[in-house]
Chain A
Amino acid sequence: MTNLKILKIKIGENFPALRLICAVIIISFSAVVSVYKFSDLAGAVSAGFTAYETLLLILSDIINTVFIYMPAFIFIIAGDYENFGITEVIKTGSRRGLAFSGLIKTLIYTLIFFAVLIIINGAVSFEAFPVGNSWSRAFMGTARSFGFDISVMTQPPFFYITQRLILMFFLFLTVGMIYDLFKTLSDEGAVFPLTVLIGIGLALVIQTMTAVPPMMLIFVLFVIDIILYFITMLILRVKDLRVPPQG
C-alpha cells in the first residue's frame, strides 16, 4: 500500500506534462505526414489500404521509430528522474519497494505514451482509410517493400496487427526499463543518448524479424524485462544512495 501511495505522489509531483505535450505535438505532425505518404502511395497504385493496416505501417515505420517515437519516449520518462535518492527509499520503505515503484512508474508512462501513439495515429488512419476484414491489395503489393514477410498475410489482419502493436508496446517498455537500469547505475548525461541508440537498435532488429511470430518476440522481450527488473533491484540494494556532501 505504501508503494502505491508513493507512486501516486511520484507521478503526481513529477509528472512530465510539458514533455508529454511536446511529444503529442510531434507525434501528431508525424502522423499527418505519414498518412499523407500512404494515401499518396495508395493513389499511385490505385488501391487502398485499410485503416488498421495503415496504423500498423505508421507505427512500424523505422524512420518514425528512429527519429521520433524512441527519442520522444525517452524524453518523457527522463522527465521524472528528479529527487532520486535516499529519501525515496525512506518513502517507499525499502529498496525493493523503490525498484518496484520504479517499474510500475515506467509501465504507466509507457502505457500513456503508447495510448497517445495509438489515439493520434489511429484517428488519422481511420479518417483516411476504411475499415476492412481482409488484407487489402495495396498491402499485399507493397508489404515486402515495407519489410513484411509474405507469411504475415496467412493470418487474419486484426489478429496479426494486434500482436504487432503489443510487441511495439513491449519494445518501448523494455527501452524504458533499460533507461531505469542505466539511471540506477549512473547519473551521467550520456544515459539519454545511449538509451536512444539501444532503443533504435532493438527496433531495427524487431523490424527485420517480421517472419518470426510476434508472440515469440513478445515473450523474449518479456523475459528481458524480468531480467532487467531483477538487475535493477540488485543494483539498488547495493548502491550507495546517499547524497554527496555539498562543497
Chain B
Amino acid sequence: MKIIKFICVAASLVICTAAAIHFTKTHIEAEQTREKTLAELIIGGQAAQGFEEAVKEVEEAIGTTAVEPTTTAITTTTVPTTTTVTTTTIPETEATEVAATATEIPKAEIVTEYTVGGLIDLNTKPEKTMTILTLTSDQRAFLQEYMIEHYFLNGFAFVSDEKIPEIKERKNAAAEMESAAIQTVNMLTGMIDLNNPMNILDVDFDEFIKKIEDIENGFEANYGNTDFSDDNYDKLKDGSLKYFAQLKTSLGEFKEVADAYHNSSNAFLAMGLLTRALTETVIPELMNVLESSFDLVESSQPIFLENTQGHTILTRDEVKAILQNPGYIF
C-alpha cells in the first residue's frame, strides 16, 4: 500500500512535468514563429526604451556588459517580395465640336507606374544590427523621411504635384480623409504615456469620444456622399468609416475598464482586474486600432500614386523588418 502511494505520486509528477514541458514548448514555438504586427513593433519599441535605460544603469553599476543567452532559432520561410508594375492609360478625350476655330483639346494620358516591394532584401540580414532606440536624431529623421517617402506617403505633396484636375480632386479628398484618421491616431498615442501607463485611467474618455465623433461627422459630411467611381477611393472611404467605428468601440471599452477601476471599493482586487483588462482588452483593442490605421495607409497608396511614375513603396513585411532592424536602410 505504501509502495503504491509512492508510485502514484511519482507517476503524477512525471505526467504533470511532461505535460508542462509540452505546453511550454508549444507556446514558445508559437511565439517565435508568430509574426508581430506593425502596431506591436511600434509600441514594443517605445516600451523597450525604459528597459534599455535600466540595462545601461545596471551595467554601469556593476561594471559589466550584459550578454544575450543563445537561443535556438526556429527557421521561418520568408515570402519573396512581389513586384507589381501597373500602367494605365486613359483613352483620348473626345474633342468637342465647336465652330470653325475649334481648338484641339490636348489628349490626356494617365500613366501610373510604381513598384511594390523590393527596396530591401528580406532574405539577407543587414550588416549592421540596429534598433530604433539606438538611432541618432539624424538617423531617426532619415528613417522618418524614408518611411513617409516609401510607405506612408505625403498625400498633400502628391496633390500639389498633380496636374489633371479630376485626379487632383480625388487625391485631395484622399489626403484630407487620411489626415482625419492621422489626427485621431495622434490623439490616441498622445493619450498613452509609456513612462506612466496608469495615466490612461484618468483620461476623460467621454470628451475623447466626442472629439472622435466630431471628426467622424465632419468626415461623413464632407465625403459621405462623394463618389469618384473609383474602387480605391471607395475602399479608402469605407475603411476610414470602419476605422472610426473601431476607434469609438475601443475607447468605449477603455472607458469601461477605467470606470470599473475607479468605482471599485477594493483596491487590491481592482488592481488584479485592471491587469487582466489591460492584457485582454486594452492592449488588443489598441493594436486593432493601429493595425486598421495601417490598412488605411495601404488603401490610400494607389490613389496618391495614380499618374505618377518611378515610385517604389514598401510592403508591410518590409516595414516590419525595418522597424525591427533599421540597419536595412543604413
Contacts and interface: CB of A to CB of B under 8 A. Distances in A.
Contacts of B9: 17, 20-21, 24
A141 B54 contact: yes
Nearest to A51: B69
Interface stretch (B14-22, B138-146, B162-170, B291-299): B14-22
A100 interface: no
The 3 residue pairs across chains A and B that have the minimum distance between CB atoms:
A28-B16, A17-B5, A137-B66
A141 B55 contact: yes
A152 to B, nearest CB: 9
A135 interface: yes
A129 B69 contact: yes
A141 B6 contact: no
A206 to B, nearest CB: 21
Contact of B17 (A28, A36, A128, A154): A28
A128 B28 contact: yes
A119 B12 contact: no
Given A128-B24, A137-B68, 5 more contacts: A24-B9, A24-B12, A47-B51, A123-B17, A124-B24
A116 interface: yes
B149 interface: no
A24 B15 CA distance: 10
17 contacts: A17-B6, A21-B12, A24-B16, A28-B19, A28-B20, A32-B24, A43-B31, A45-B47, A45-B51, A120-B17, A120-B20, A129-B69, A132-B67, A137-B66, A140-B58, A141-B58, A142-B51
B25 interface: yes
B31 A40 contact: yes
Contacts of B55: 137, 140-141
Given A39-B31, A153-B58, A127 B24 contact: yes
Interface string B39-68: 000001001100110110111011010111
Contact of A141 (B5, B31, B52): B52
Instruction: Tell me the dominant secondary structure on chain B's binding face.
Output: helix
B23 interface: yes
A94 interface: no
Interface in A3-24: 12-13, 15, 17, 20-21, 24
A132 B5 CA distance: 38
Contacts of A32: 20, 23-24, 27
B68 A136 contact: yes
A48 interface: yes
| Range of interface residues on A (Cβ < 8 Å) | 35 or more
Given A20-B9, A39-B31, A127-B24, A150 B68 contact: no
Contacts of B19: 28
Interface string A84-127: 00000000000000000000000000000000100110011001
Contacts of A241: none
B182 interface: no
A135 B64 CA distance: 10
Interface of B: 2, 5-6, 8-9, 12-13, 16-17, 19-21, 23-25, 27-28, 31, 44, 47-48, 51-52, 54-55, 57-59, 61-62, 64, 66-72, 131
Interface string A26-49: 011001100110011001111111
Given A24-B9, A44-B48, A140 B66 contact: yes
Nearest to A46: B48
A123 B25 CA distance: 11
Contacts of B21: 123-124, 127
Interface of A: 12-13, 15, 17, 20-21, 24-25, 27-28, 31-32, 35-36, 39-40, 43-50, 116, 119-120, 123-124, 127-132, 134-137, 140-144, 150, 153-154
A13 B5 CA distance: 10
Given A46-B48, A141-B52, A25 B69 contact: no
A140 B59 contact: yes
Given A28-B17, A116-B13, A17 B8 contact: yes
A50 B69 contact: yes
Nearest to A53: B69
A144 B12 contact: no
A141 B17 CA distance: 30
B150 to A, nearest CB: 24
Contacts of A137: 55, 66-68
A127 B70 contact: no
Contact of B2 (A12, A131, A150): A12
A40 to B, nearest CB: 7
Nearest to B60: A150
A32 to B, nearest CB: 5
Q: Which of A24, A49, A129 has the most CB of B within 10 A?
A: A24
A150 B23 CA distance: 33
Contacts of B25: 127
Contacts of B66: 134-137, 140
Specify which of A27, A46, A143, A144 lies most central, judged by the most chain B CB atoms within 10 Å of its CB: A46
